[in-house]
Every structure is written in C-alpha cells, then in structure tokens.
Structure 1
Amino acid sequence: MRAIPSHHVVVFLCLLCASLALAVASAAALALLPLGDFRGVLVVLAGVLLLYLYAFALYRLFLRLLPLREGDVAPGSQHELIANVNMLFYLLLFNSLVRSHVVPVPLMRLVYLALGARLGTNTYSAGALLDPPLTRIGSNTIIGHDAVIFAHVIEGERLELKAVVIGNTVTIGATAVIMAGVHIGDHAIVSAGAVVTKDTRIAAGEVWGGIPARRLKAAPAAPVEA
C-alpha cells in the first residue's frame, strides 16, 4: 500500500476541521436554548450528530467538485488525491459508524445514500459498504449481517477503483465478501461466507458460494410456452 502524501492529509484535515468548527458553532447555538437539566448531554449528542452531518455534506461537496472515478490510480495524480481523501474520510470518521452496529439497518440505508451509494427501493444492508460512491444496488436486495462490499483493489503499491453493480432482488448472505468490479444479476443469491473475487460476473438467477465463490446452481430454465 502506498504512503499517503502529507498534502493529501492536509486537504482532508481542512475538511474535517471545517466540519468540526461548524458542529461546535451549531452546538454552541443550541446551548443557548432552555434545554433543562440535561443540557450538557443534549448539547454533546447534538454536537456529535452535527459533526457527522457536516462531514457528510463536505464529503459529498468534495466529490461533486472532484468526482471519484473508476480506473487505475496513478501516483501523483489528481485521481490519487481524490482517492486518498475518500479513504481518509472512511478510515478516520465513517468506518466507525459503518462498523459499530449501533445505527439501525433502516437508518444505515440513509447513511449510505448520504455517502453517495445508489440503492433501489426496499434495499437494505446489514453489512458494510466500504465505497458507497462506487456501489450500485437495485431494488428489493438484502445484504446480510457483516457482509462486506468494496470497490477498491490494493495490490502492493497498485491502487485501482472498480464499481460493484448488484441487480434487483439479490440476496447476499451474512459475512460474504464482494470484491471490486463484481457484477451480480437480478434474483441471484450469494451464500453466507462466500468470497466473490474481483471482476466476477454472476448471471441472473444463479446461486454462488464457497471460497473463492463458484456457481453452485444455474439459473432456472425459462418456462416453455405450450
């Protein structure tokens, strides 16, 4: 893994400090309200919530101005700056939220949408989406408990970003791992604990499982019309 250049860290810290300053200012304004005996607790909780909300907003603004795109990330490029700032947001701020299991699954859907994931209606994840801006999931899909989906490839000093695309009515079992570049068709099933290696294509209706994952069951044959 490459070392993150110091000026990339500075860019991230500027965004983080801006989020913190906005959260502190907003919490200080709330402290002026008549909040009763629990004022201190309420102000601290509001400050933490506001920190994340402002961080979400500045993170999305950063990616709107400098989009995170797929492909090899060349050293010293602007693409590397964007990828590293994205990584720092997750390592130092968002990962603790995604991995904590404190936030209920329906609310985590809102978190992932706020972070840029494309999720269809009635799609929920009890696992971790580590690269929401590069994660696209259709409707009526469920990601099982502690499953992990990520859209980055780190091989030595090589870094590449590849979107993960999952169709409609797909089931991803608990603790499964879906690697970068994977495409999963509608109505497919990935069994619990499976490891779907990068760039794998799972066709609609297929069942996959194992380490590494392989096809266990083909898609049902289409009914023959009389």
Structure 2
Amino acid sequence: MREIGAREIVFFLCLLALILLLGIGSAVWLIALLPRYYLSDLRGVALVAAAVVLGYVYAFAVYRLFLRLLPLHQGAAAPGSRAEFAANVNILFYLLLFNSLIRTHFLPLPLLRLVYLALGARLGHNTYSAGALLDPPLTRIGRNSIVGHDAVVFAHVIEGDRLELKPVVIGDGVTIGAHAVIMAGARIGDGAIISVGAVLTKDSVVGAGEIWGGMPARLLKKTAAASDAAAS
C-alpha cells in the first residue's frame, strides 16, 4: 500500500477545517437566533447536536465539490499523478469522516440511502443498501435492488504498491446477500442473486438471472424466471 503524502494530508486538513468552521459557525448562529428561554439547560447539548448534523451536511457539500474539481480517475493511478492525489484525498475523506457514518447500524435504511446519494452513488428507485458501499462515486445500482446486511461493495484495488479504481455496476432487481463481498470491476446483471457470504472477485461478470455463491463466488444456477426465459 502506498503511503499517503503530506500534500494530500494538508489539502484534506484544509477542507476539514473549512467543514468544521462552517458547521460550528452555523450551529452557533442558529442557536443564537432562539430566544433565551428556549432549550434552557439543553442549549449546550443542542449546540453540539446541531454542529454534528450541520458538519456532516457541509462535509457532503465540500466532498461533492472536491469530486467536481478532482474527479476520481477510473483505472490505475500512477505514483505522483493527479489521479493518485484525488484517490488519496478520497481515502482520507472516508477514513476520517464517512466510514464511521456508513458502517453504523444506527441509521435507518431510507436515511442511509440519502447518505449514499449525497456521496455520489447512483441508486435506482426503491434500491437500498444495509451493507457498506465503500466507493459511492464509482457504484451504480439499478432499480428495486437490495444490498444485504453487512455486505461490502468496493470499487478500489490496492495490491502492494498498485492502486486502481474500477466501477461496480449492478442491475435492476438484484439481491446481494448478507455479508457478501463485491469487489472492484464487478458487473451484475438484472435479476441476479449473490448468495449470503459470497465473495465476488474483481472484474467478475454475473449474467442476468444467475445465482452465484461461494468463496470465490461461482455460478450455481439460474433463477426460475431466467430459465423460463431461456427455454422460451
């Protein structure tokens, strides 16, 4: 694994300072607008809660601005390149800000969906993730799909000194079982099922209506709907 350089750390810390300044400043301003008898002894608690919530709101906004200015480059990131810089800053965002938020089981699924959308994931109608989408900007999931409890979907490859980003594309009506792992570059067709605990290795291609399972995952069979469609 490559070391994250000083310039990436300094850049991220500047963005973090901006987020904290905006979050705390906005919270203080909002609390100050309330009459003194509102909240009474809970004023300090309200200030902290407002700062946390507003801090994350600003974090989402700053992160999306960062992605617009320095979009993540798909493919291998050469050492010292702009692509590596963007990827490393993205890693810092997740390690220090977003990982604890998306890996918590406290947030209800509809709210977690909004978090993923705010982070740049493309999720179709009625699609939810009870697992962790570790690279939302590089994750696309169609309609009526579900990522099971504690499943993990990631779009990065770190192998020794090699760093590469590969999008994950998941179709409509897909079911990803609990504790499954979907690695970078995977393509999953409509109506497919990835079994509980399966490990879908990088660049795997799952056809529409196929059921995959195991470690590493392999084709087990086709769903009844897919088999009927093939027969007709």
Question: Shorter chain as normaliser: what TM range?
Answer: over 0.9
Confirm whether residue 30 of structure 1 aligns to residue 30 of structure 2: yes
Letter in 1 for 2:3: A
**In the alignment, which residue of structure 2 is the partner of 1:199?**
203
Distance in structure 1 (CA, Å) of the matches to 2:182 and 2:133:
10
Q: CA deviation at 1:41?
A: 1.2
Q: CA deviation at 1:224?
A: 5.7
Q: How does 1:76-95 map to 2 (within 5 A)?
A: 76-95=80-99
Confirm whether residue 148 of structure 1 aligns to residue 152 of structure 2: yes
Distance in structure 2 (CA, Å) of the matches to 1:162 and 1:220:
31
Describe the shift of the 1:197–1:224 C-alpha distance in structure 2 as closer, same or farther (beyond 3 A). closer
Distance in structure 2 (CA, Å) of the matches to 1:207 and 1:96:
31
Letter in 2 for 1:166: I
Counterpart of 1:215 (choices 215, 219, 228) is 219
Confirm whether residue 3 of structure 1 aligns to residue 12 of structure 2: no
**In the alignment, which residue of structure 2 is the partner of 1:118?**
122
Provide TM-score, normalisation by structure 1.
0.97
Q: CA deviation at 1:95?
A: 0.2
Confirm whether residue 105 of structure 1 aligns to residue 112 of structure 2: no
Q: CA deviation at 1:131?
A: 0.1
Confirm whether residue 57 of structure 1 aligns to residue 61 of structure 2: yes
Q: CA deviation at 1:141?
A: 0.1
Q: How does 1:128-143 map to 2 (within 5 A)?
A: 128-143=132-147
Describe the shift of the 1:210–1:223 C-alpha distance in structure 2 as closer, same or farther (beyond 3 A). closer
Q: CA deviation at 1:31?
A: 2.2
The DSSP-based 3-state class of the residue aligned with 1:220 is helix
Letter in 1 for 2:90: N
Q: CA deviation at 1:223?
A: 6.3
**In the alignment, which residue of structure 2 is the partner of 1:44?**
48
Distance in structure 1 (CA, Å) of the matches to 2:159 and 2:67:
24
The DSSP-based 3-state class of the residue aligned with 2:227 is coil
**In the alignment, which residue of structure 2 is the partner of 1:180?**
184
Letter in 2 for 1:25: G
Distance in structure 1 (CA, Å) of the matches to 2:231 and 2:163:
47
Letter in 1 for 2:227: P
Following TM superposition, the consecutive aligned residue runs of length 4 or more in structure 1 with deviations greater than 4 angstroms are none
The answer to which of 184-193 and 62-71 deviates more is 62-71
Deviations for 1:193-220, whole angstroms, at most 9, x for unmatched residues? 0000000000000000000000000341
The DSSP-based 3-state class of the residue aligned with 2:72 is coil
The DSSP-based 3-state class of the residue aligned with 1:103 is coil
Deviations for 1:53-77, whole angstroms, at most 9, x for unmatched residues? 1011001001011111210011000
Distance in structure 2 (CA, Å) of the matches to 1:222 and 1:23:
54
Q: Give the aligned CA root-mean-square deviation in angstroms.
A: 1.0
Deviations for 1:147-182, whole angstroms, at most 9, x for unmatched residues? 000000000010000000000000000000000000
Identity of aligned residues (%): 67
